[in-house]
């Protein structure tokens, strides 16, 4: 394998080049194959210590990173906010210094504050992998979404991708936008004007509030979770109206091209952003995203740890 990767950290997709993104995806191809074997383990990170530092709750991303690290034979420790000294008033910097004093090689950080991984990376020598920071970026989610699209469509360039829902507060949306544009896709954001403000047009994407007009044109529709359980009351009147305007119902799904992919980063609100049957239907690649997430995260850990020799 060649060594077109010189990064110690993966903080976001905005700073990656198209070549770097493609290189991660190609590396993930090799690791995806590992998952199909009887023995799903390789020694690539043997002797390395990985810390899953999850200051914000997460099940699927944490599990995916944990499995990825185990399949690479790394030693792994999970730390959640409630179990960390952060609850005792320790700063993130001090927590990270303690982890480093325990010879951590890789810190996978999930944090509610945008920029927390950048901050951490300036204070530790260990690799820092962003597992989601506030509304900023979720680079491995973006990479696994691209991997899935590339796997199903054989390309990214020239495709038209709609991202639907709460864009303003979505790190998944931002990572997808940055990476899709770099690889030559067209991106249209769809949702209520409060959650998809016009300012996003400055990022090089289209913004619309008419889902039905967009659906026939797109090759991929990526539905984001609508957070109705907290703090969005000023942003839209209620779930009923949201579903009426932006829910992917069965009727609306008929507008899709037959080969249009339906994606969702999870967890799904069945019957809200997506009809329950559609989530399990032929066009849905939601579980492929999960499987591919493992391969992509193995690739990221492998590359950032320097195990590829760069």
Partner 1 sequence: MTATIIRNGRIIDPANDRDEIADLYLVDGKFSEQRPNEFEEIDATGLIVSPGLIDLHVHFREPGFSHKETIASGARAAAAGGFTTVVCMPNTSPVADSPSTIGWIRDRAEEVADINVLTTGAISKNLAGEELSPIGSLAQAGVVALTDDGRCIQNNELMRRAVEYARMFDLPILDHCQDYNLVGNGLVHEGYWSTLLGLPGWPGAGEEAIVARNILLAESCDHRLHCQHISSAGSVRLLREARVRGVKISGEVCPHHIALTDAAIENFDTNYKMNPPLRAQRDIDALLDGIADGTLDVLASDHAPHAKFEKEVEFDAAPFGIIGLETELGLFLDLLVHKHKTIDIARLVALFTMNPARLLGLKSGTLSLGAAADVTLINPALEWTVDAAKFESASCNTPFDGWKLKGRAVRTIVAGKTVWENAL
Could you list the residues that contact partner 1 (CB under 8 A)?
A: 14, 91-93, 111, 113-116, 118-119, 123, 133-137, 169, 171, 174, 197, 199-200, 202-203
H or E element, residue 299: helix 286-304
Minimum gap (Å) between residue 292 Cβ and partner 1:
24
Kindly tell me which of 48 and 174 has the beta carbon lying closer to partner 1: 174
Kindly tell me which of 92 and 263 has the beta carbon lying closer to partner 1: 92
Minimum gap (Å) between residue 227 Cβ and partner 1:
14
CA distances from 277 to 14, 215, 262, 272, 281 (A): 34, 18, 12, 12, 6
SS3 62: helix
Kindly tell me which of 27 and 170 has the beta carbon lying closer to partner 1: 170
Minimum gap (Å) between residue 240 Cβ and partner 1:
25
d(Cα 95, Cα 181) in Å, to the nearest integer?
36
Q: Residues 28-43, buried b or exposed e (16+ Cβ, 10 A)? A: beebbebeeeeeeebe
Residues 6 or more apart in contact with residue 252 via CB below 8 angstroms: 211, 212, 215
Kindly tell me which of 64 and 170 has the beta carbon lying closer to partner 1: 170
Task: For tokens 């043997």, name the residue.
Answer: 46
Minimum gap (Å) between residue 259 Cβ and partner 1:
32
Q: Are 221 and 271 in contact (CB under 8 A)?
A: no
What letter does residue 89 receive in the DSSP assignment?
T
Kindly tell me which of 134 and 271 has the beta carbon lying closer to partner 1: 134
Q: Reduced to 3 DSSP states, what percent helix, strand and coil does the chain have, rounded to the nearest 5?
A: 40, 15, 45
CA distances from 235 to 143, 207, 212, 229 (A): 29, 17, 21, 13
How crowded is residue 246: how many other Cβ atoms within 10 Å of its Cβ? 26
Kindly tell me which of 6 and 202 has the beta carbon lying closer to partner 1: 202
Minimum gap (Å) between residue 99 Cβ and partner 1:
16
Q: Provide DSSP, 109-170.
A: EEESSTTHHHHHHTT-SSEEEEEEETTTB-HHHHHHHHHHHHHHHS--TT-EEEEES--TT-
Minimum gap (Å) between residue 241 Cβ and partner 1:
22
Minimum gap (Å) between residue 260 Cβ and partner 1:
27
d(Cα 86, Cα 15) in Å, to the nearest integer?
29
Kindly tell me which of 94 and 277 has the beta carbon lying closer to partner 1: 94
What letter does residue 105 receive in the DSSP assignment?
S
Kindly tell me which of 174 and 225 has the beta carbon lying closer to partner 1: 174
Minimum gap (Å) between residue 46 Cβ and partner 1:
33
């Amino acid at each position: 394998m060649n060594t077109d990767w010189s990064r110690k950290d993966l903080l976001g997709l905005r700073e990656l080049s198209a070549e770097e993104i493609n290189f991660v995806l190609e590396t993930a191809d090799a690791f995806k194959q590992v998952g199909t074997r009887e023995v799903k383990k390789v020694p690539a990170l043997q002797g390395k210590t990985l810390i899953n530092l999850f200051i914000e709750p997460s099940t699927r991303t944490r599990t995916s990173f944990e499995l990825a690290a185990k399949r690479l034979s790394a030693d792994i420790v999970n730390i959640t906010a409630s179990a960390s000294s952060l609850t005792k008033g320790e700063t993130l910097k001090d927590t990270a210094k303690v982890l480093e004093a325990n010879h951590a090689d890789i810190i996978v950080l999930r944090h509610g504050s945008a920029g927390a991984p950048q901050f951490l990376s300036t204070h530790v020598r260990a690799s820092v992998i962003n597992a989601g920071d506030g509304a900023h970026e979720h680079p491995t989610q973006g990479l696994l979404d691209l991997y899935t699209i590339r796997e199903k469509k054989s390309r990214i360039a020239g495709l038209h991708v709609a991202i639907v829902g709460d864009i303003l507060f979505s790190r998944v949306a931002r990572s997808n936008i940055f990476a899709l544009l770099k690889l030559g896709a067209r991106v249209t954001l769809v949702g209520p004007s409060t959650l998809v403000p016009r300012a996003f047009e400055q990022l090089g994407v289209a913004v619309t509030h008419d889902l039905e007009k967009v659906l026939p044109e797109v090759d991929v529709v990526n539905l984001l979770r609508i957070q109705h359980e907290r703090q969005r009351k000023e942003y839209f009147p209620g779930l009923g109206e949201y579903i009426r305007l932006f829910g992917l119902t069965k009727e609306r799904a008929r507008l899709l091209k037959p080969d249009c992919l339906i994606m969702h980063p999870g967890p799904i609100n069945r019957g809200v952003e997506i009809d329950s049957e559609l989530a399990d239907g032929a066009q849905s690649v939601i579980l492929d995203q999960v499987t591919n997430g493992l391969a992509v995260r193995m690739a990221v850990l492998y590359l950032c740890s320097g195990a590829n020799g760069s």
